[in-house]
Amino acid sequence: MSQWPSVAAIADDVRSGRSKAADLVEKSLKTIEDNDDYKAIIALTADRARERAQTIDSKIAAGEQVGRLAGVPFIAKDNFLTFGSETTAASNILKGFNAPYQATAINRLEAEGAICVAKANLDAFAHGSSTENSDYFTTKNPNDKTRVPGGSSGGSAAAVVLDMVPFALGTDTGGSIRLPASFCGAVGYKPTYGLVSRSGVVAMASSTDVIGPLTRTVEDTALVLDVMSGKDELDGTTTDKDQTGYEIADADLKGVKIGMIKEYMGEGLDPGVKKQIELAVEKIKKAGAQIREVSLPSLPLALGVYYIICPAEVSSNLSRYDGQRYGYNDADAKDLLESYNKARSTGFNRENKRRIMIGTYVLSSGYYDAYYKRAQIVRTKLINEFKTAFDEVDFLIGPTAPSTAFKIGENVEDPLQMYLTDIMTVAVNLAGVPAISIPAGMSEGLPVGLQVIAAQRQDKKLLNTANKIEEQLS
């Protein structure tokens, strides 16, 4: 049982005077301190958090209006630009960088009274599935310190499960919110592409990056999403939010058509995970949902497609880090070329370099058509298969990951095995559709996540249905 009530209840208590924003910030900072050995946090924004809490408490005392998230502490993944601490994306090349402005998502949360108290650990530049690629340290799984929390938003997921805050922010490029949610036992939401502004968030792969929350409940996820979502003039890929918002409304599982993804339930799925997913599906079925098997034939190709398109965009996005304008710079470099070489060779870690080289290769003359262009063709085919599936069913379900959290160090020397961790999440990003991971029980003491997927722009329906599914599984 979490020490935090719901996000809405916390804000209501602050607005009514039953609790103080300042006390909530101190509670959060104390919990972070008490759980330092899990290595979930890169930096605190304590001074700024305390100032904001005092301002909110003063406004309430003066009878002024405060927002829907008044006094609610939260943690941002360290690839969000924020005031109050450095923004490093857990990379050596950005150590010492203080953002000149904040991410739109952070500004929108703060406008409603939320208070950022810390920056969470991640795989450097979000390149990874375990946080072992952080240039700081590896975050430990809250359920077992010998295991990874997932990645790349591992610090954010661990922070929520460890009760440091009621919610945290992550980014999901190929599963980086949903995977750590599954491994740690949190709710992780990947919205429709473009629903939440990416302005002020360090880019990984621009055509699949999305911003989303990690929380304890679907209800909390829906409220946080409602605050963050909608068009932003600073991000031309953003879309209008649903006019009725995303907060939970009445829903019913009776008659809801749900497709069980055939390709996710076969070979390679851990028996313990499969058992928990099948038990979850039975509970959903008993609640009145119509379950049927659905096949998306191109799903087995999704991982290969992702690891061509994603590194291609990574190689482009990381070209801006050259040691000249900001970030790490080697003062001993003799000329411009040596400065570039030293900044990038020292500043980027092994996984960053691997993705840059793969991306540059698939975009190079003679290989573009063979790899990148072909991958984009298969991506379009995958998008069409999702559309066809949603003509037949309302939602798709399956496991979030093929296994529970693996041991720290287990896959470090095997990049392919590490990439295979994302096999059940990357297709959602390639198609731009929304998906959520909900805790669906335990296998040998470790959490299992159930993934629920909806058609593009159906975030409201997905959240309402996921809320009902959560009730059946709790």
pLDDT at 116: 98
Predicted local distance difference test score (pLDDT) of residue 325: 86
Q: What pLDDT was estimated at residue 385?
A: 98
Q: How much is the pLDDT for 416? A: 87
How many residues does the structure list for the chain? 474
Task: List the domain boundaries for the chain.
Answer: 7-228
What's the pLDDT at 245? Answer: 96
pLDDT in tens, 152-167: 999 999 999 999 999 9
- Computed on alpha carbons and rounded to an integer, the radius of gyration of the chain in Å comes to 21
Of 157, 163, 159, 162, nearest in space to 175 by CA: 157
User: CB burial class (10 A; 0-12, 13-18, 19+) of residue 410?
Assistant: middle
167 bridge partner residues:
74, 215
Rounded Cα–Cα distance for residues 330 and 423 (Å): 39
Q: State the catalytic residues.
A: 77, 152, 176
One-letter amino acid of 237: T
Average pLDDT along the chain, 474 residues, taken 10 residues at a time: 92 98 98 98 98 98 97 98 98 96 98 98 98 98 98 98 98 98 98 98 98 98 98 98 94 96 95 98 98 98 97 96 90 93 95 97 93 97 98 98 98 92 97 98 98 98 98 95
**From start to end of 421-468, where are the E strands?**
435-443, 446-453
pLDDT tens sequence across 321-346: 999 988 898 889 999 999 999 999 99
d(CA 450, CA 275): 12
- Residue 131 structure tokens: 């946080």
What's the rounded Cα separation, in Å, for the pair 153 and 177?
Answer: 6
Give whole-number Cα distances, 430 to 264, 376, 439, in Å: 16, 9, 24
Tokens of 387: 């559309």
CATH class of 7-228: alpha beta
Query: For position 251, what pLDDT does the model report?
Result: 87
